[in-house]
Chains A and B, each alone.
Chain A
Amino acid sequence: MKSEFTPPIGKIIQINGQCIALIGNDIDTDRIIPARFLKCVNFDSLGESVFEDDRETLKGKHPFDLEDNKNASILIVNSNFGCGSSREHAPQALMRWGIKAIIGESFADIFYSNCIAIGIPCFTLTKKSIEEIQNYCENKFLFLEIDLKKSSAKSKNLNFNLEIKESSRKMFLSGEWDATSTLLENENLIENKFKQLPYIKFNTN
């Protein structure tokens, strides 16, 4: 665990940081944060338990335990990352460990929406590019500058065009990823919709 955690707020336009590679397909949210850590009424202490069981098994060799990675903030993953349970505790744990952005081959749907909702942009790249970055990280430090405006990531030697859902990109650039206030702007429309729905009327008992 690093210096005190401050959650992101407002516009997210640029993220600069060191990459940390985590190799494997279908890494599920039970592995990111095992269920026993869900027994809590806030997210504050989750950072230290991220990947707890995988780390225990690898006895210090897990990427999240390596000294070289302790300041990393851009996570590089393979396909279907974050599958399984909808627990937001998973991205919350990653964020509290220090992750600010994730680049992967693909993400599970609910995990992806959870990341957007708490201010972690998730980008996709081809399998080939991901493997290139992961191989690079094996031997050297890789610092990337991610630019949301251009959807790009670059370092001294590498350059990538990142894919991100346009709606997510816009929400980060405008700061509206923290959706509650945007949703509440339409209070009248919400009230009208409520009145229109047929089942509200016939479920009055």
Chain B
Amino acid sequence: MSQDTLFDKVWDLHKVSRLRGGSDQIFIGLHLIHEVTSPQAFGALKDKNLKVKFPDRTVATVDHIVPTDNQSRPFKDNLAEQMIETLENNCLEHKIRFFNIGSGNQGIVHVVAPELGLTQPGMTIACGDSHTSTHGAFGSIAFGIGTSQVRDVLASQTIAMNKLKVRQIWCENKLSNGVYAKDLVLHIINKLGVKAGVGFAYEFAGPAIDALSMEERMTICNMSIEGGARCGYINPDEKTFSYIKNKFCAPKNQHWEKALTWWKSLKSDENSIYDDVIKLDASKVEPTVTWGITPGQSISINQQIPLLDDLSPNDKLVAKEAYEYMSFNPGQSIKDTPVDVCFIGSCTNGRISDLRVAAKVLKDKKVSKNVKAFVVPGSEKVANEAKQEGLDQIFKDSGFQWREPGCSMCLAMNSDKLIGNQVSASSSNRNFKGRQGSPSGRTLLMSPAMVAAAAINGKVSDVREFIN
């Protein structure tokens, strides 16, 4: 049993009761909702004749179904229009703050909450989306929930949950040039496996994590769930505090100092006890690309797709499925694999720093004529900031399409989809079968810089050849 970690402190603070079954009743400090997983929850409230208990503790935006080419209303897609209308009506009826398209603050829920300063250390944060772990980058305890639990949070601001174990993932040294947070987290998932995190919260720590910017830390925590961990977090430090300072919803004036004092008390104690500790050397990580159908199936850019004999017995079944689905041969290089579509965006890598890195690679270069490339900023704020810096122009000049904010082809709930068995180089988080909208579409996950490099060459490339 872990003791005195940030996870323990925040969990204990939010514990309302021990329920009769033995699980804990946990208060949710910040509840984020969007159009896909909330309508049925509001429906259930109505059925049970309940109201939203603390409307101020829930914040809404719209992201999954929004079109990225033309966002004028009504949407061309009737079902998408019905979903946004349902959210608008529910927020209006229950007096929930809603950041709609055109508000200047709409975007992917996990991009929006941090940039508004809603996400703060020491909070419990829940959202009907598995990538809620993103917010752990600020030293909050954040996790995805299903629709029935969204209902429970709306009705009671609490959920029933069993306390997680805590595994510290200690990352020594620093990432080398051309290697990014995305590469590190793909590497971690590969080393530990996609189900190692089941039952655990992941604490990411060590010099390599300390050196990361807040946005890079969000990329790491975001993908905790891809390693099976519902929750991932990083102890807050000066970078965390200065990121939050002066944000729209950040504590102001005399409250700021009080907040700061409290936040500083939250981090895991030096002699805290973990259920497990893993150490790895971040300086050994190279640009990493997935070759299969789970985020754990990745290799470094210069490695070959593993042979069946090289894999553990547990990994063989899904590896066989992956070779067949991806049409890759064991032993084949991943480098130079032709790509059809390049996608930069998502809650993993759709922030301003991601766009800056990709734009730097693309400047004065052209996207290969065989590639369809598009960039979807994570939020309206990201889009505006990028425009102010002239990044949109760099993307457009290179041949990338510049789109409106949303989740887009990360999960392809709008019209941005792969066609047939197209191969996509994607800065998103999941390479599952059919994930990007075509039942036979193939996804290679990589960092935004690597997506930019793939777009230029029309094939999987080592971005270090562009930046050194």
Contact = CB atoms under 8 A, between A and B. Distances in A.
Nearest to A53: B439
Contact of A84 (B39, B128, B432): B432
A39 B79 contact: yes
30 contacts: A26-B194, A26-B294, A30-B435, A53-B433, A53-B439, A80-B194, A84-B225, A85-B430, A86-B129, A110-B144, A110-B230, A114-B146, A166-B22, A167-B21, A167-B22, A171-B160, A180-B50, A182-B20, A183-B25, A183-B158, A184-B155, A186-B16, A186-B25, A190-B16, A190-B156, A193-B14, A193-B16, A199-B122, A199-B259, A203-B255
A205 interface: yes
B158 A190 contact: yes
Nearest to B13: A197
B342 interface: no
Nearest to A184: B156
A25 B128 contact: no
Given A197-B29, A203-B255, A170 B22 contact: yes
B432 A109 contact: no
Interface string A113-127: 110011000000000
A200 B258 CA distance: 12
A109 B198 contact: yes
Interface of A: 24-26, 28, 30-31, 34-36, 38-43, 53-54, 56-57, 78-80, 83-89, 91, 106-110, 113-114, 117-118, 165-168, 170-171, 174, 176, 179-180, 182-184, 186-187, 189-190, 193-194, 197-205
Of B123, B152, B293, most A-chain CB atoms within 10 Å: B152
Contacts of A109: 198-199, 228, 230
Given A24-B318, A31-B434, A174-B21, 18 more contacts: A25-B314, A25-B318, A26-B195, A30-B434, A42-B40, A53-B434, A57-B439, A57-B440, A80-B228, A86-B37, A86-B132, A88-B40, A88-B147, A88-B148, A108-B228, A170-B21, A176-B21, A179-B148
A40 B433 CA distance: 22
Contact of A198 (B122, B157, B230): B122
Main secondary structure, interface of A, reads helix
Given A43-B40, A88-B37, A186-B25, A199 B228 contact: no
Q: Contact size class for B?
A: 35 or more
B458 interface: no
Contacts of A170: 20-22
Nearest to A41: B39
Contacts of A193: 14, 16, 27
Nearest to B407: A35
Contacts of A35: 411-413, 435, 437
Given A30-B432, A179-B159, A194-B27, A88 B317 contact: no
B144 A86 contact: yes
A35 B225 CA distance: 18
B414 to A, nearest CB: 9
A95 B112 CA distance: 34
B467 to A, nearest CB: 32
B66 to A, nearest CB: 12
Interface string B190-215: 00001100110000000000000000
B249 A203 contact: yes
A165 B160 CA distance: 13
Contacts of A25: 314, 317-318
Interface string B1-35: 00000000000011011011111010101000000
Contacts of B86: 41
Contacts of B79: 39-40
A38 B82 CA distance: 12
